[in-house]
Amino acid sequence: MRVAVFGICGKMGQAMARELIREKDVQVVAGFDNLHTGQDIGTFLNMGPTGARIYDSYEKIKQASVDTIVDFTRADICLQTISWAIDNSINIVVGTTGIKKSDLESIKKRASRTDCKVLIAPNFSIGAVIMVKLSGLIARYFDNCEIIEMHHDKKQDAPSGTAISTSEVIADSMKFNHQRLKDFEAETVESSRGGFINGIHTHSIRLPGLLAHQKVMFGAKGQTFTLSHDSIDRAAFYPGVIMALRNLDKLGNYTYGLDKLIQF
């Protein structure tokens, strides 16, 4: 598998590239970024020369005979890359978050008319994916639910893609709130009750020292139930990424969510 890592100079891109280079069935043949252009990827990662280089143009990526892209960039850049990948029949695995639902629908339509694979996952941590699935099951037996998601202070989108996915899965099982504030509630400070997605109050925390964390808190008479997941190192996302790469052939042209590859 000839892979190009997009956003390779970012923290996630570096972490994923280091792991991919060690795989016997994967060859990292190019990186894409506007930093360190022309540098050998292995040298950049302090792993020794690999012969593969970092480029800032799609044409150079194409010349490297890439068959699969792993993207950890920004939503605006990622959308351009997905479009280009589809046009050039290149598979793409996307870990970039913040993509709008309308854009996802457009990607789905375009992907259905191509012979390449597009997999977009709001979270590649297998533990987080399991947490989302369990949330839908637990929601049936509780009176209410709130989500607290916590990430590092450089994360650009809020709430996180995982929090949004969690709210969607829960809403499929149970609609808790039909309005953001109950009739008797009042906020003395605006937005104190957080965001409101699919009938669920969602709270986003951004602090240095954090990486990626989420709590799903359920409440009923006399009890609470909390699901909690913590990614304390970016290596936590790699098992999901390599699982996705190795199983692309089992998927349709468009897939949203790593859960499609995990049996429950």
Residues identified as active-site: 151, 155
Q: How many residues does the chain have?
A: 264
Angle at 93 between CA 89 and CA 95, to 5 degrees: 145
- Element of type H or E holding 76: helix 75-87
What does the alpha-carbon distance between residue 257 and residue 160 come to, in Å, rounded to a whole number? 14
Sign of the alpha-carbon dihedral angle for 10, 126, 67, 47 = positive
For residues 38 and 15, the answer to whether their CB atoms sit within 8 Å is no
Number of CB atoms found within 10 A of residue 131's CB = 20
b (16+ CB within 10 A) / e for 227-259: bebbbeebebbbebbbebbeebeeeebbbbbbb
